[in-house]
Amino acid sequence: MDGADTSGDNEASSTEHIVNAVTRAIVEHRLLPGDKLVEQKLADRFGVSRTLVRQALFRLSELKLVKLEPARGAFVSAPSVKEAREVFAVRRMVEAQMLRELIARVTPANLRTLRAHIKAEREAVKRIDVPTRTKLLFDFHVRMAEVLGNQVLIDLMQELVSRCSLITLMYQSADDAEVSNAEHVDILQAIEDRDADRAVAALNDHLLAVERQLTERPRAPGLPFVPS
């Protein structure tokens, strides 16, 4: 509509741009775990207010990519190997039962939703879109929870996969991502075949493989963070 106030849309766009730029800097090893993100410097670089920077940092904290510390500021999160292993242990317990319930209740529409998601994963992997492929590869597990319609489970899965996201962004290679996508295809095939034991076995193998990728690979040195 002519004359409509688009300031809210512009602010949301600016916030998302900062989130994407910081995420990309983490992916490309230009920001390291523990690096401080100074609000004024970010505001100057992006040509926005500190209010918008705070909104972006809060969003990054929700994604577990940034840690906000009272009276100290914002820092790139530094998840430990121990934390990653504990999160994956919980995921294996929760997702095994989730899969069994999903297979008992899955509908053709649910299967179409999961197939479409895996197709989007594959496309992001092929174009080496690292932030998108990381999000989609983790969100596959959230999609399975959504199919069950249990909001508590959905929230739990979102929390668990978010806690894995930073370490994945830092360490997962293109080859690893391609393998993860193929393993999702295997899990979905077992769901379609209504074979719960095979689905759970495939899931456990997949999560163990991802865990090894994320906890056993040294980090490459970084370059300066120059947002784009």
Identify whether residues 97 and 140 lie together within a single domain.
Answer: yes
Identify whether residues 52 and 114 lie together within a single domain.
Answer: no
As given in the structure block, the two tokens for residue 114 are 């999961």
b/e code 158-180 from CB counts within 10 Å (16+ = b): bebbbbbbbbbbbbbeeebbebb
Does residue 90 fall inside a structural domain?
A: yes
Last residue of a domain, one of 15, 49, 76: 76
Hey, what amino acid is at 13?
S
Give the pLDDT confidence score for residue 9 in this predicted structure.
59
Identify whether residues 19 and 61 lie together within a single domain.
Answer: yes
* Cβ-based neighbours of 130, under 8 Å, separated by 6 or more: 24, 27, 169
Q: Which residue has the higher pLDDT, 22 or 195?
A: 195
Q: Which residue has the higher pLDDT, 9 or 92?
A: 92
Q: Measured between alpha carbons, how far is 102 from 152 in angstroms, rounded to an integer?
A: 15
Identify whether residues 111 and 140 lie together within a single domain.
Answer: yes
As given in the structure block, the two tokens for residue 26 are 């983490």
Q: Point out which residues pair with 66 in neighbouring strands.
A: 76
Identify whether residues 130 and 72 lie together within a single domain.
Answer: no
Q: How far is CA 18 from CA 140, 166, 183, 228, in A?
A: 25, 16, 32, 9
- Each residue's pLDDT tens digit, 177-194: 899 999 999 999 999 999
Q: Is 38 left (phi over 0), alpha (psi -120 to 50) or beta?
A: beta
As given in the structure block, the two tokens for residue 223 are 């370059």
Last residue of a domain, one of 18, 41, 76: 76
Residue from 168, 160, 177, 178 nearest 219 by CA: 168
CATH code for position 99: 1.20.120.530
* Cβ-based neighbours of 128, under 8 Å, separated by 6 or more: 174
The range of the structural domain enclosing residue 210 comes to 81-215
Does residue 1 fall inside a structural domain?
A: no
Identify whether residues 173 and 156 lie together within a single domain.
Answer: yes
Identify whether residues 153 and 93 lie together within a single domain.
Answer: yes
- Each residue's pLDDT tens digit, 84-131: 888 889 999 999 999 999 999 999 999 999 999 999 999 999 998 877
pLDDT exceeds 70 at position 30:
yes
Identify whether residues 189 and 92 lie together within a single domain.
Answer: yes
Q: Measured between alpha carbons, how far is 165 from 134 in angstroms, rounded to an integer?
A: 7
Q: What is the pTM of this model?
A: 0.69
Q: Are 169 and 27 in contact (CB under 8 A)?
A: yes
CATH code for position 68: 1.10.10.10
Identify whether residues 71 and 86 lie together within a single domain.
Answer: no
Identify whether residues 114 and 209 lie together within a single domain.
Answer: yes
Where in the chain does DSSP place strands (E)?
36-37, 66-69, 73-76
pLDDT exceeds 90 at position 138:
no
Q: Report how many domains make up the chain.
A: 2
With both helix axes pointing from N to C terminus, report the angle between 196-215 and 81-105 in degrees, rounded to the nearest 10: 160
Identify whether residues 163 and 86 lie together within a single domain.
Answer: yes
Does residue 226 fall inside a structural domain?
A: no
pLDDT exceeds 50 at position 5:
no
